Structure 1
Amino acid sequence: MPPADLTIRLLTHADLPAYKALRDTGLQHDPEAFTSDFDTASALPPATYATRLGQPPDDHFILGAFDAGGAMLGAVVCEREARLKKRHEAELVGMIIAPAMRQRGIGKALLKEFDTLVRKLPGLEHVVLSVTADHAAAVKLYEGAGFVRYGLQPRAIKIGEQYHDKALMLKQL
């Protein structure tokens, strides 16, 4: 069950510093979950992520989960292709929950609102994502939200000499 005082809303330009801080924490805490690396991404300014902002029916947006004090506890990003032949598909990218706030229903609440918003996007038929295959809690979270695994990308991420597979998942709308 998510905290009673949890607020989920679309991010604005004013939220970008908090989003970047949350993302940097995620990159540092779970490097195998991201294709970006901490050293490169942490050097970027918050404005780098402005292209991800939007309001439905835009093709991209970031949802944030906030506590009563306004601290960002989690975020999820939707991106959609501009190419006509891929307009039926959106991608869920960059799901991040603050490490200290996991297992409290925040991810589930974000995915529920994400689902509500993507269903408003004209012509959208399904959402895809990739998740580090051995992150059982993340895979279970996505399965609980209706995503099904359709493939595996072996050795998708390489950190040092260690590889991590990515499970490829899809949700029909």
Structure 2
Amino acid sequence: MATADTPVIRLLSDADLPAYKTLRDAGLKSDPEAFTSDFDSATALPPATYATRLGRPPDDHFILGAFAADGSMLGAVVCQRESRLKERHRAELVGMIITPDARGRGLGKALLKEFGVLVRQLPGIEHVVLSVTASNQAAVHLYEAAGFQRYGLLPRAVQVDGVYHDKALMVKTL
């Protein structure tokens, strides 16, 4: 059970999709440089669009959510496994979203810890990759503290309102 200081972290189900979409839409609005999706296109989609991301190990994908005591979703992280045979040893942390009010309280660290437990249940996974907005130092440091290492930079990866943002490419060997 969630307390004021300790959210519940669990796999999402179909019933959680409206809350996940609300969280994601809010993230697209507050931090557009963190997403490759654009606000207008993504917000027009129904919550069921994200059902393909649901699952539980040993499925190839899952979404973890962090919930406050009142049941509101404070954050989420998505895992997606590569589908092509030659890349099946790799999983991708597709995105992490934390509400602005919940940032700086250890929620990202807790989500990444549980993410690590679950991704290790996927048979044959050897490493996890991600990309993060390079200028978001708080997120970069969070991933580094969780054991991810930077292996590259994708310059001008996304463009928001005429401004380009680089993506740091990171990997964690399991």
- TM normalised by structure 2 equals 0.97
- 1:52 match: 53
Alpha-carbon distance in 1 for matches of 2:9, 2:89: 26
1:4-83 to structure 2, matched below 5 A, reads 4-83=5-84
1:105-120 to structure 2, matched below 5 A, reads 105-120=106-121
What root-mean-square deviation, in Å, do the aligned CA atoms of Structure 1 and Structure 2 show? 1.1
What are the superposed Cα offsets for residues 120-153 of structure 1, whole Å, 9 maximum, x if unpaired? 1100000000000000000000001000000000
> For the structure 1 residues 3 and 126, does the alpha-carbon distance in structure 2 shift closer, same or farther, using more than 3 Å as the test?
farther
Q: Secondary structure at the match of 1:64?
A: strand
The unaligned stretches of length 5 or more in structure 2 are: none
Q: Percent identity, please.
A: 73
What are the superposed Cα offsets for residues 75-125 of structure 1, whole Å, 9 maximum, x if unpaired? 000001111100000000120001111101110000000000001110000
- 2:100 match: 99
Equivalent residues, number: 172
> For the structure 1 residues 18 and 131, does the alpha-carbon distance in structure 2 shift closer, same or farther, using more than 3 Å as the test?
same
- 1:84 match: 85
Alpha-carbon distance in 1 for matches of 2:51, 2:68: 22
Alpha-carbon distance in 2 for matches of 1:77, 1:166: 18
Residue 3 of structure 1 deviates from its aligned partner by 5.4
- Over 6 Å off, 4+ runs: none
The unaligned stretches of length 5 or more in structure 1 are: none
Q: Secondary structure at the match of 2:42?
A: helix
1:8–1:66 Cα contact (<8 Å) kept: yes
